[in-house]
C-alpha cells in the first residue's frame, strides 16, 4: 500500500529524468563531443560525468519508489531531505558554473530551475506526511 504519494510521484519523475537525461546525452550532447577536436581523455570524462548524473537520477527514483511504500515514514525522512540537498547542490553547481563561464546563457538554466523547484517541493511535501497510527 502506498504510504506517501509525493515520494511516489518524485520516484516516477526521477526515473523518467534518468531516461530522458541518458537519451538527450546520446542523441544531442555526446555526438557533438565525439566529433569535436577535444582529446580522448576529456571526451571520456564528459561521457562518464554525463552518465553519473543519469545513474544518480535513477538511484534517487528507485529510492523514492521504495520510500513511497515504506511503513514507517519517519525512518526515511532523513534520506528524502538528503537527496533534496544533493539536488539543490547540483543546481547550485549548474548555476554557478553558468554564471562564471557563460553569463549570457544563464536563461538556459531556467528549465532546470523550474524542474528542481517542483522536484524539491514535492520532496518537502512528502517529508511533511505524518505516519498514521
Helices (DSSP H) in 1-130: which residue ranges?
5-24, 30-35, 40-68, 77-101, 110-127
Examine residue 68 and state whether it is found in any structural domain, yes or no. yes
- The DSSP secondary-structure symbol of 123 reads H
- What range does the domain containing 110 cover? 5-127
pLDDT at residue number 108: 84
Examine residue 133 and state whether it is found in any structural domain, yes or no. no
Report the predicted TM-score, pTM, of the whole model to 2 decimal places: 0.87
Q: Give the residues of the chain that fall short of pLDDT 70.
A: 132-133
Number of domains in the chain: 1
pLDDT at residue number 132: 67
Look-up of cell digits 528542481 = 116
pLDDT at residue number 120: 96
Chain centroid to Cα 51, Å, comes to 12
Examine residue 132 and state whether it is found in any structural domain, yes or no. no
Amino acid at each position: 500500500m502506498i504510504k506517501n504519494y509525493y515520494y511516489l510521484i518524485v520516484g516516477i519523475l526521477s526515473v523518467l529524468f534518468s531516461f530522458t537525461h541518458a537519451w538527450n546525452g546520446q542523441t544531442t550532447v555526446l555526438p557533438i563531443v565525439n566529433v569535436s577536436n577535444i582529446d580522448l581523455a576529456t571526451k571520456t570524462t564528459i561521457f562518464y560525468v554525463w552518465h553519473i548524473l543519469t545513474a544518480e537520477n535513477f538511484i534517487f527514483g528507485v529510492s523514492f519508489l521504495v520510500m513511497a511504500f515504506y511503513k514507517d515514514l519517519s525512518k526515511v525522512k532523513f534520506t528524502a531531505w538528503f537527496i533534496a540537498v544533493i539536488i539543490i547542490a547540483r543546481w547550485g553547481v549548474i548555476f554557478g558554473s553558468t554564471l562564471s563561464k557563460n553569463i549570457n546563457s544563464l536563461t538556459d538554466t531556467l528549465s532546470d530551475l523550474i524542474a528542481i523547484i517542483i522536484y524539491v517541493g514535492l520532496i518537502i511535501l512528502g517529508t511533511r506526511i505524518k505516519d498514521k497510527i
